[in-house]
Amino acid sequence: MTNKAFFPILLLILLLTACVTENHDTEVILRKEAIPIITNVETNYPEKEGWIVIPTDSTELNVTVEATNAETLLFWAVPTGTETWGERELIGYDTNGNDGWKITWDIAGKSLHQHVIVQALGSDGMTITDETLNITNE
């Protein structure tokens, strides 16, 4: 007698489970729209064989970035080599892309042979995209 009552309940639970669906497509689309995208990074010095070559008597390095879906851009100087991220130095940040994303770094008297990492923090507060520039003195 209990078996007869059990099967209809089991069938009802299976049908309800099959009818309930979750649509994660909207969430995925919103996340993709919030991912920051860096489309261009430029400096006021020329690039030669993958390195931005800066004359030793230079006093400023200007970095200009084109990015979308970004809330803040961070600019880091990281020594060349392996596992050097812990030795990074924050050289600037920009929180207002309305006038373009950019910084001016005072390099007067500095010996340069490092990476400048540009990090775009997403407007969703969770995503990060980055680009790397290799810089060196002439």
CA-to-CA distance for 77 and 132, rounded, in angstroms? Answer: 10
Mean pLDDT for the stretch of residues 38-61: 96
φ, ψ of residue 42 to 5 degrees: the values are -135, 155
Mean pLDDT for the stretch of residues 74-88: 96
CA-to-CA distance for 136 and 114, rounded, in angstroms? Answer: 7
Which residue did the predictor score with more confidence, 54 or 138?
A: 54
* Structure-token pair, residue 111: 């010996």
pLDDT at 26 over 70: no
* Structure-token pair, residue 42: 């430029």
Q: What percent of the chain has pLDDT over 70?
A: 76
CA-to-CA distance for 57 and 13, rounded, in angstroms? Answer: 77
pLDDT at 88: 97
pLDDT at 138: 85
CA-to-CA distance for 105 and 102, rounded, in angstroms? Answer: 10
